[in-house]
Amino acid sequence: MSAIPGLGLKKSAALAAEGSEGELYEARKQIYPQSVSGTFRNIKWALLTVGMLVYYFLPFVRWDRGPDLPSQAVLVDLANGRFYFFGIAIWPQEIYYFTGLLILASFTLFLMNAVAGRIWCGYLCPQTVWTDLFLLIERWTQGDRRDRIKKSKQPWSLETVTEAILKHSLWLMIAWWTGGAWVLYFADAPTLVKQLATFQAPAQAYIWILILTASTYILAGFAREQVCIYMCPWPRIQAALTDEYALNVTYRVDRGEPRGSLKKAKLLRAEGKPAGDCVDCEQCVVVCPTGVDIRGGLNMGCIQCGLCIDACDNVMKKVGRPTGLIGYDTDDNVRRRAEGLPALKPQIIRPRTLVYVALIVAVSAAMTYSFATRRSLGVDVMHDRNPIFVSLSDGSARNVYTVRVLNPKGFERNFKLSLVGLPQGKLAVMGEPVGDEAGVPVTAPPDQTLELRVTVTVPPDVKLPQSTPIQMILTDVATGEAVKKADYFKAP
């Protein structure tokens, strides 16, 4: 039987025995996670530190793209429809690159789940990272678990009020910096910081900072485990993607049971009776950020952060028992131990993980090839619909097109726009002289799309079908690079 989210297996079984299916939502019980030290806690601190440094300071990293272009290394320039990532510039028509990144992220998440369950939730999810940071501040201002529980039961005093004000002030400061850092990715960071400080920034910046400040403050400071248990869809999705060979934080029932106090276990062993290594200290429960008792089996409340492993290993060392009573293990090994069979080494390389790796490599290769071979110029042609053609007074036929010339480079470039498919057709840019056989000269400004009104005229003595396929060719005068766009010439 699987556990009800947020409840242990024992409580879930009790509800089922009473003929109840349990409630969809359980009223929140305040959780006071205790601090713990160990390997997995150190890994989480390292990832938190690196992630925070990247998030808060990346907008201030500079990158020289040339004159009149943004110098921010990572910038989402909504006003001009650009996304800059160091030496890469993505235009709106290249949205497929973002689609590819989303597909890569999905397959990577699936691979992480196939290898080690909810490793994303436990170590990299922003909700987990910011909650860890808020908990660190809470412990620093109000003490560890016992102190916070004790103070929560006492009436307000000058000390507790001062600590609460300090805690919430630091929470709000971090939340505000979180929202502020986010908007810095959408404008030049130093300029926007100055505008924000002098109250000259756009209203949208203040609105989004307020929204993100409030959401960070509420989710990391108050909602916490409720986000993981009830709001986030990933626990339910990953349950359908995992298999019996994925590593998950697991309690060794065969080693730990029957559990009891250290004194009781020693007496049982002295009498030759079975005694488990678990001393029922509940350290694995009090360090859990979601309040899960891992000894009752996995449930959706467990984010696989590994803190219970650190807590249990610390206890095992103190009582002189082997570590690993709680650790990363597979459901297959749990089943084998229950049947009295030896455990197997984790099978990280297996068909499921190989398929995910192959998909990641394939998508990455396709994106790399597409990016490496993408052109440094582009042309788009749209035929006027009304009218489709114009008959001139001398009997000539004329079609009008809107031509967009794309110059993604950071400098001005000279092009030739030529016509193929109409040997006697004359191509001209409205307001400019008619071009020669080599084409019409076009000068495109740096990092912009130049829109032109172009006419194609055929003499009256040329007989054409109602629709003739043509091509407009844009050629870079300096490099000879060319790009074509097909359309039709419509005749009476």
pTM, rounded to two decimals: 0.84
Q: pLDDT tens-digit profile of 261-298?
A: 888 888 888 887 888 899 999 999 999 999 999 999 88
Q: What is the mean pLDDT of residues 350-369?
A: 96
Exposure class string for 113-138: b at 16+ Cβ within 10 A, else e = bbbbbbbbbbbebebbbbbbbbbebb
Q: pLDDT tens-digit profile of 138-180?
A: 999 999 999 999 999 999 999 999 999 999 999 999 999 999 9
Mean pLDDT of all residues belonging to the chain:
89
Q: What is the pLDDT of residue 85?
A: 93
* Whether pLDDT at 17 is above 60: no
Tokens of 467: 């629709």
Give the strand pairing for 82-85 and 467-476: unpaired
Would you state the torsion angle of the CA atoms of residues 52, 313, 8, 111, taken in this order, to the nearest 10 degrees? 50
Secondary structure (DSSP) of 415-456: EEEEEES-TT-EEEETTSPPPBTTBEEEEE-TTEEEEEEEEE
* Sequence-distant (≥ 6) Cβ neighbours of residue 150 within 8 angstroms: none
* Whether pLDDT at 373 is above 80: yes
Q: pLDDT tens-digit profile of 53-83?
A: 999 999 999 999 888 789 999 999 988 888 9
Give yes or no for a contact between 468 and 399, defined as CB atoms under 8 angstroms apart.
Answer: no
* Whether pLDDT at 38 is above 90: yes
Give yes or no for a contact between 306 and 215, defined as CB atoms under 8 angstroms apart.
Answer: no
* Whether pLDDT at 19 is above 80: no
d(CA 185, CA 379): 30
Q: pLDDT tens-digit profile of 398-451?
A: 999 999 999 988 889 999 999 998 888 889 998 776 655 668 999 999 888 899
Using DSSP's 3-state secondary structure scheme, residue 406 falls into: strand
d(CA 130, CA 5): 22
d(CA 266, CA 431): 98
Q: What is the pLDDT of residue 276?
A: 87
How many CB atoms lie under 10 A from the CB of residue 83? 19
d(CA 304, CA 302): 6
Give yes or no for a contact between 377 and 481, defined as CB atoms under 8 angstroms apart.
Answer: yes
d(CA 174, CA 167): 11
Closest by Cα among 187, 329, 315, 310 to 244: 329
Q: What is the pLDDT of residue 115?
A: 94
Secondary structure (DSSP) of 344-387: -----SSHHHHHHHHHHHHHHHHHHHHHHT--S-EEEEEE--SS
- Assess whether the previous peptide bond of 289 is cis (omega < 30° from 0): no
* Sequence-distant (≥ 6) Cβ neighbours of residue 186 within 8 angstroms: 75, 76, 77, 78
